[in-house]
Amino acid sequence: MEEGRSLQDELLSDKKVLKQLEGVYNTSSDVLQKKRVAKDINVMKKEIKSLEGKLVVLGIENEIMEEEDTGIGDDYDILGSIAVNKVREDSKDREIDAITSYLNYFEKNYLSILSEYYIKLDFNHSGKRDEFYPKFMEIKKIINEYNYELDVLNREEYNSIAFYRDKSLVHKIKHRYLLVLDKYFKELNNFLKILIDDNAEGGIIVLNSNDRLILDELERNRKLDGYTVLDTIIEMYDFSEDIIKFLSLPDI
């Protein structure tokens, strides 16, 4: 049954990614991007069909139907518009591809905004806000560790090393990566909700909620340029909601 469980996990992961790819295809106006995504969708559908066939052979097709009804088909406010790219050329884990694509999007569009320069908070909440940047950098170290282990296992020059290594290490690192990521965005989600709720009640935690962002000229990603600070906080909150939903991990 362990083989069946592993196949089911892979199937659910692929279906999550397929949903995201279809969202990108349906919302993108870039012809070249749509062509690339269409190709990925076809590949993913073939993989899903293959996995479903293997599960049928194992006699656990009924379990597949039960697993499918878990909210994977829910729409996402922001993730559906983000292109999913391979983390590396030899990547075979579409869940990691998707999550890392979303993480890159967060870093490029939101992380630098989550600072005193753009969002001014009262003293008690400024310190908490400033914790999110270094914590994010720690998350990036884990994905670098994950990539290193894949190098050890996949690259020809590392074959002699890989022979002696525990291949389950890659899966352990992935699991740790997902747990840390989930914890990070749940903490961020709770923090942003405090700011939003306080503002709705006329509070003053956010000192410049109605100011409009004027992004520094060095900022390459200008998606939020012209947003009010409050709208920016709300969008980051929506993004964190999407990530938490996508990961679908229980609270620890």
pLDDT digits (tens, 9 = 90+) for 162-221: 555 556 788 888 889 999 999 999 999 999 999 999 999 999 999 999 999 988 777 777
The residue ranking higher by pLDDT, 4 or 223, is 223
Whether 103 and 141 share a structural domain: yes
- Domain boundary pick from 11, 45, 73: 73
- The domain of 252 spans 76-252
Q: Do 202 and 182 fall into the same domain?
A: yes
Q: What is the pLDDT of residues 135-176, one digit of tens each?
A: 999 999 999 998 888 777 766 555 555 555 556 788 888 889
Domain boundary among 73, 99, 132: 73
* 153 & 230 share domain: yes
Q: How far apart are CA 40 and CA 22, in angstroms?
A: 10
Does residue 141 sit in the same domain as residue 23? no
Q: What is the dihedral of CA 64, 65, 71, 74, to 10 degrees?
A: 110
160 and 102 fall within a common domain: yes
- Last residue within a domain, chosen from 73, 95, 119: 73
User: 223 phi and psi, to 5 degrees?
Assistant: -55, -40
Instruction: Identify the CA nearest to 248 among candidates 19, 3, 2.
Output: 19
Pairs from 144-151 (Cβ < 8 Å, separation ≥ 24): 145/173, 146/96, 146/170, 146/173, 146/174, 146/177, 147/87, 147/88, 149/173, 150/88, 150/90
Question: Is a pLDDT exceeding 50 seen at residue 62?
Answer: no
Instruction: Pick the closest to residue 246 from 28, 49, 80 (CA basis).
Output: 80
Q: Predicted confidence band at 231 (pLDDT cuts at 50, 70, 90)? A: very high
DSSP 3-state helix, strand, coil percentages of the chain (rounded to 5)?
70, 0, 30
**Is 13 or 148 the better-scoring residue by pLDDT?**
148
Judge if 192 and 219 occupy the same domain.
yes
- Please check whether residues 46 and 69 belong to one and the same domain: yes
Together in a domain, 227 and 103: yes
Query: Tell me: the pLDDT tens digits for 38-60?
Result: 877 888 888 887 877 777 766 66
Q: Please tell me whether residues 46 and 97 are part of one structural domain.
A: no
Q: Are residues 11 and 84 in the same domain?
A: no
- Does one domain contain both 104 and 92? yes
pLDDT at 63: 45
* 80 and 37 fall within a common domain: no
